[in-house]
Chain A
């Protein structure tokens, strides 16, 4: 069987759900080797969190250059591992770091790259959704190894317990991959809510909140959801920019997206149109966002949301 690399993705030293989605997609193609790039002394602990989904082997590379020199140093390590192990493909998560790593590896290995795939089949044919959700494209890499970045939350992870073999590999990062130096890093401020791109449910607020996100947050919390925002809301400073959904914000594909006081501009749709189910609350019956709604309520979000929050709480108790 052929080998396929996935780059294990960690938040707070724990493998993310996206990592297991990558493994599940990769296992359709061949034996999954999960690559763990870690600071010195942290590889084994990180690898220990890769205990589910179809991972055949784990390759641990520990090197301080990863923190000190960022994306390029990580890409240098992956390119070296690719020449050692000759995998047929590399799958990474579609976030800023994952895409830039993939871009660097593509150039270094002269391989084709497909970004923002929502699915990958056993032939390494990738599915992408383009033009703000209006078209589906299937494509395949035709040169080098297949480098594919996969959007979080698009395939159901197989969470069967696994016991992978572990291999430690020491690598020297090339000087040319160390030309940029990371002086300091500050993790994003974490609330108690799930990460936007990984959440099963996202509740978003727009200009219609008029700056008061309390009702949106309360409903999100009743569902264990992440909170998103339109650009009108982030530009006004009502909600952090990191929560913006859309063309210049994040792309989300949750099981359920709830748009509250959002009109549905094309740039907003681009970030949420592939959500499985969409609920809309808007007081303007003509708002274009209703075109996407599986369930739409024409009404005031300040009346509808608190009632819905109570309803969810009473059903859960």
Chain B
């Protein structure tokens, strides 16, 4: 069994935290089924698309215990939207061939919550997204998740190959051990450009017309509670026609 996880570098460095849940879950799955081994059937490959600086994030996943890493980097991908990102990642996944692909789920960056769905649609793989738990039975090529969204909890199952995205409460990501960090330093991060994966850069599916910084909010009223704070708050609600 092979797992790949996806990582997206973004303006906000904290986003990488969220992909750690995906790496952790992939490691737990291979460990629960005999342990991971380089080039063996039981291994974890990290796949990331991003600028060259994304190697740091990829290295972190290797130090947690992933066996191999592929970074797709190409200047033509700067500013890539979700559709292009999913096209690139789906292409690499189908070339490599995995049983399961696990992604993080992120919601601030609007794109991240659609990229996993898009990858699964492009691969024509079952979509098992927003997983709060994952159960795998490799002998039956069977995978089940509990999907946790505002609409409730669904139990969803499918056969390999399948795409999973995980929510942050699924696990507690491990800290890389000293041994893991040293081992990760020796590992090769394979970089590929668009030509190597066989995709032509093409025009985007949507265009930004303009963008503006929003004016900071006008300074409001600030009072110190002297026992009448609650009453003054209610006056403000009434004056603003909020009650």
Q: Measuring CB to CB, which residues of chain A are less than 8 angstroms from any residue of chain B?
A: 70-72, 75, 95-97, 99-100, 102-104, 106-108, 110-116, 125, 128-144, 176, 179-188, 195-197, 201, 223, 241-242, 247-251, 255-256, 267, 270, 277-279, 281, 285, 290-300, 303-312, 315-316
Determine the distance from Cα of A184 to Cα of B150 in the docked complex, in whole angstroms.
Answer: 16
Among B66-74, B108-116, B181-189, the stretch that binds chain A is: B108-116
B6 at interface by CB-CB < 8 Å = no
Among B24-32, B127-135, B193-201, the stretch that binds chain A is: B127-135
CB distance from B215 to the nearest CB of A (A): 10
Q: Which residues of A contact B243 (CB under 8 A)?
A: 223, 312, 315-316
Q: Which residues of B contact A139 (CB under 8 A)?
A: 206-209
Are B236's CB and A279's CB within 8 A? yes
Determine the distance from Cα of A97 to Cα of B147 in the docked complex, in whole angstroms.
Answer: 11
Are A103's CB and B150's CB within 8 A? no
Q: Which residues of B contact A144 (CB under 8 A)?
A: 205
Are A96's CB and B114's CB within 8 A? no
Determine the distance from Cα of A111 to Cα of B152 in the docked complex, in whole angstroms.
Answer: 29
B118 at interface by CB-CB < 8 Å = yes
Closest residue of A by beta carbon distance from B221: A295
Determine the distance from Cα of A39 to Cα of B151 in the docked complex, in whole angstroms.
Answer: 16
CB distance from B133 to the nearest CB of A (A): 13
Q: Which residues of B contact A133 (CB under 8 A)?
A: 214
Are A248's CB and B107's CB within 8 A? yes
B52 at interface by CB-CB < 8 Å = no
Q: Which residues of B contact A267 (CB under 8 A)?
A: 14, 108
CB distance from A132 to the nearest CB of B (A): 7
Determine the distance from Cα of A115 to Cα of B128 in the docked complex, in whole angstroms.
Answer: 20
Are A137's CB and B230's CB within 8 A? no
Determine the distance from Cα of A304 to Cα of B224 in the docked complex, in whole angstroms.
Answer: 11
Are B230's CB and A311's CB within 8 A? yes
| Number of residue pairs spanning A and B whose beta carbons lie under 8 angstroms apart | 256
Are B156's CB and A176's CB within 8 A? no
CB distance from A192 to the nearest CB of B (A): 17
CB distance from A315 to the nearest CB of B (A): 6
Determine the distance from Cα of A267 to Cα of B106 in the docked complex, in whole angstroms.
Answer: 12
B76 at interface by CB-CB < 8 Å = no
Are B155's CB and A297's CB within 8 A? no
Are B229's CB and A115's CB within 8 A? no
CB distance from B85 to the nearest CB of A (A): 11
Q: Are A183 and B114 CB-contacts (below 8 A) given A140-B207, A294-B221?
A: no
Give the interface centre of B124, B144, B155, B242 by most chain A CB atoms within 10 Å: B242
Are A293's CB and B118's CB within 8 A? no
Query: Which applies to chain A's interface (DSSP): helix, strand, loop or mixed?
Result: mixed
Determine the distance from Cα of A157 to Cα of B222 in the docked complex, in whole angstroms.
Answer: 33
Within the complex, which residue of B144, B152, B204, B231 is in contact with A183, where a contact is CB–CB below 8 Å? B144
B223 at interface by CB-CB < 8 Å = yes
Q: List the 7 closest pairs (A to B, CB-CB), nearest first.
A: A307-B230, A299-B225, A112-B205, A311-B234, A103-B114, A180-B126, A112-B206
30 A-B residue pairings within 8 Å (CB atoms): A70-B156, A96-B113, A96-B129, A99-B113, A100-B113, A100-B127, A102-B114, A103-B82, A106-B205, A107-B121, A112-B206, A114-B206, A134-B213, A135-B214, A140-B207, A176-B124, A179-B159, A197-B150, A201-B242, A247-B107, A256-B237, A278-B217, A294-B240, A296-B221, A297-B222, A299-B224, A303-B230, A304-B233, A308-B229, A311-B233
Determine the distance from Cα of A138 to Cα of B236 in the docked complex, in whole angstroms.
Answer: 34
Q: Which residues of B contact A107 (CB under 8 A)?
A: 83, 86, 118, 121-122
Determine the distance from Cα of A307 to Cα of B228 in the docked complex, in whole angstroms.
Answer: 8
Within the complex, which residue of A96, A103, A300, A310 is in contact with B130, where a contact is CB–CB below 8 Å? A96
Within the complex, which residue of A75, A180, A304 is in contact with B128, where a contact is CB–CB below 8 Å? A180
Determine the distance from Cα of A289 to Cα of B79 in the docked complex, in whole angstroms.
Answer: 31
B169 at interface by CB-CB < 8 Å = yes
Closest residue of B by beta carbon distance from A132: B108
Interface bits B145-168 vs A (CB < 8 Å: 1, else 0): 000011111111111001000001
CB distance from B228 to the nearest CB of A (A): 8
B140 at interface by CB-CB < 8 Å = no
Are A134's CB and B214's CB within 8 A? yes
Determine the distance from Cα of A188 to Cα of B153 in the docked complex, in whole angstroms.
Answer: 7
Determine the distance from Cα of A125 to Cα of B86 in the docked complex, in whole angstroms.
Answer: 23
Are A141's CB and B205's CB within 8 A? yes
Within the complex, which residue of B14, B106, B229 is in contact with A304, where a contact is CB–CB below 8 Å? B229
